[in-house]
Structure 1
Amino acid sequence: MADTTHPRPSWRDRVIDSSGVPIAARDFGGEGTPVVLVHGLGGTLEDWAAVAPRLTARHRVIATDLRNSGHSGDGPWEWGAVLGDIEAVVAEFGAEEPAVVGASLGGMVAVLWGERHPQCPGVANLDGHPVLGAGRRHPGMAPERAAEQRERLGALFSAMEEQRASPLGPADAGALAEAARSSARRLGASEDAFAASVYRSLTAADGAGRRFARPLREPLARIRRAMEGLDLFAAYERTGARTLAVLATEDTPGQEEFADLMAAHRRGVGDALADLARERPRLRAARLAAGHAVLAERPADVARLVLDFLAGDDG
């Protein structure tokens, strides 16, 4: 059943120039400490539709489309530039000293925000721990098996990048939206929000009437390289900001062929976060019984975790 607990509020959308890259943002309203919400790879600010209204009773809530995504413009993917985009959004809305909450890729951005802004009220990373790349941890899995599954997963990502080079056919956008609706029904999430995120992810038709899914091939490849080159645990150790790190503990549909790798990844991340939390009192590690799509699967629990964390309830 679609989530209808929180009807859509009166939103204010705006496009901000950040070093020549237009950045789209949405003000969900609310009062209190500002919170900026950052979506994951392939998503848009629509992904926060079920979570944002649950935060507005205590916080001024703003969501943004990352560069190369949604209604934002294209630009080089560099972590510093992305943080600059958020700073431009914060300045435009007058949201001084915000907390930053991100899911997946957005969670990595949030951790880096905390490193740059240690005085902020806090940052939260919702299951944004790369499976591939620097600092990977896959305990309990034979190294050869882990390497083989990582190689196959990398090949799958490469194939997805190549698909982004091809325009969508006349019926493809509708098919993508219907697939999103089907996923939403399976998760008990809002079908409209899922479909809205799909349509927001498409480029406008070009002179030949073609549309493409964003991020486009080259930006997607750059984002992937940046993710694989990011040692997130080193960033956790460097940041001085209060940090909430949430680990989703369940399998995600469609990843069955990588089940061993994902399970080992979760074990490694969970153990590393627990160790780090014992050493660093400003880091809170939490687990959530959900797959990677935590915003859709468990919006009420995500909101509760974030609200408790920002209220200082770190127990």
Structure 2
Amino acid sequence: MTGTEIELPVADGVLSGVDFGGHGVGVLLVHGSGHNAAVWADVASRLVSGCHPIAIDLRGHGQTRLDSTGPEQYWRDIGDVVTALGWDRPVLVGHSTGGYAVTAAVASGLAESAALCVVDGVVLDDRDVSLAEHAAARTAETADRLRTMFRYGWEADDDQMHAYVEQCVRDAGGDRLNAGARHELVEEVTRRSFLRRGHRWARRPAIEEIATVTAVEPDADVFPSIEVYDRLTCPMTIVLAEDGFYASRRDEMRTVVDAAPGRRLIGISSNHNIPMTRPADLAAIVLDLVRGRAATSAGNVG
């Protein structure tokens, strides 16, 4: 993965990240649950000619050693990261859980953005349905399924870790989420998901991390439900994976997009992991947002 490892200060420590270089408009890339900064490598390599992309490892993920202490952790950290970078109205790009995180960071007023790019990471239900779904994500059955599918929280020695990474690469072609991704990228993302702890490796995230960030409060002001979009005033592009988790909910996304000017819905023929499987298409969308931001800034100066 081309890029420079960096640390970005937040309220009680630092997040790990990757600065991919480039110049001009800042673009913050935020991964989804179970992923890490490496997921953006192929997108970022296509962005550096037109902007300055930086990707972060959210708490409990990748090489960030901090764990979350509450359900609002991810988006509150994004506000701190944007402040630490000193960026003026960056473009914020979030995939899956990261899509809601960048949305909530802007909706809360903690981050000001020239444009949002939400990649297969929307919240379309009302509060009651969302609460029920988040409660279901904290059951013992869900925890067991995540351990079985992704080995979240697993501790491994060197040989076990390397064998698991190699297995994920071998299985990528038949994996519903990784099919179509470069095998080298699958290797980078999987390897970065292990954090060294003493003589062993911990597979991130742990089940406890998932439980913490899904324990939403019913009366929270900024809440993971469809009402959050009413709080946005900046342009927003929703990227829909046509074979992803939200493929059957295009009409609901269209309603969100039509509710305010400056919003777009763009479909991509892909599974959920668009940053890994369709990086060129996603980079082109982001660069379009960057050019729009640059044109707006030039107009304001003029």
With the shorter chain as reference, the TM-score category is 0.7 to 0.9
Question: Which 10-residue stretch deviates more, 216-225 or 62-71?
Answer: 216-225
Equivalent in the alignment of 1:158 = 143
Alignment partners' CA distance in 1, 2:215 and 2:73: 15
Alignment partners' CA distance in 1, 2:93 and 2:217: 18
Paired AA for residue 114 in structure 1: V
Alignment partners' CA distance in 2, 1:286 and 1:136: 26
Q: 1:183 to 1:235 in 2, by over 3 A?
A: farther
Alignment of 1:292-303 (within 5 A): 292-303=272-283
1:266: how far off?
Answer: 2.7
Equivalent in the alignment of 1:174 = 162
Instruction: Give the conservation status (yes or no) of the 8 Å contact 2:27–2:51.
Output: yes
1:297: how far off?
Answer: 1.1
Equivalent in the alignment of 2:203 = 213
1:289: how far off?
Answer: 1.0
1:36: how far off?
Answer: 0.3
Q: 1:111 to 1:133 in 2, by over 3 A?
A: same
- 1:233 equivalent among 211, 215, 226: 226
- 1:290 equivalent among 263, 270, 294: 270
Alignment partners' CA distance in 2, 1:31 and 1:183: 37
Task: Using structure 1 for the length normalisation, give the TM-score.
Answer: 0.76
- 1:65 equivalent among 57, 69, 75: 57
Alignment partners' CA distance in 1, 2:91 and 2:189: 23
How many residues align? The count is 279
Alignment partners' CA distance in 2, 1:183 and 1:124: 30
1:119: how far off?
Answer: 4.7
Q: 1:157 to 1:95 in 2, by over 3 A?
A: same
Q: 1:51 to 1:232 in 2, by over 3 A?
A: farther
Alignment of 1:221-300 (within 5 A): 221-226=211-216, 230-250=223-243, 265-268=246-249, 270-300=250-280
Alignment partners' CA distance in 1, 2:126 and 2:140: 14
1:78: how far off?
Answer: 3.6
Task: Using structure 2 for the length normalisation, give the TM-score.
Answer: 0.79
Aligned partner of residue 54 in structure 2, secondary structure: strand
Aligned partner of residue 88 in structure 2, secondary structure: coil
Equivalent in the alignment of 2:29 = 37
Alpha-carbon deviations, 1:265-312, whole Å to 9, x = none? Answer: 5323x1111122222112212211110011111110111122223433
1:188: how far off?
Answer: 3.7
Alignment partners' CA distance in 1, 2:190 and 2:212: 21
Instruction: Give the conservation status (yes or no) of the 8 Å contact 2:30–2:94.
Output: yes
Is there any run of 5+ residues in structure 1 with no aligned partner, and where?
1-7, 138-146, 252-261
Considering only aligned residues, what root-mean-square deviation do their CA atoms show, in Å? 3.2
Equivalent in the alignment of 1:309 = 289
Alignment of 1:8-87 (within 5 A): 9=2, 11-78=3-70, 80-87=72-79
Q: 1:80 to 1:158 in 2, by over 3 A?
A: closer
Aligned partner of residue 280 in structure 1, secondary structure: coil
Equivalent in the alignment of 1:194 = 186
Percent identical residues: 24
Instruction: Give the conservation status (yes or no) of the 8 Å contact 2:94–2:117.
Output: yes
Alignment partners' CA distance in 2, 1:152 and 1:110: 21
Aligned partner of residue 124 in structure 1, secondary structure: strand
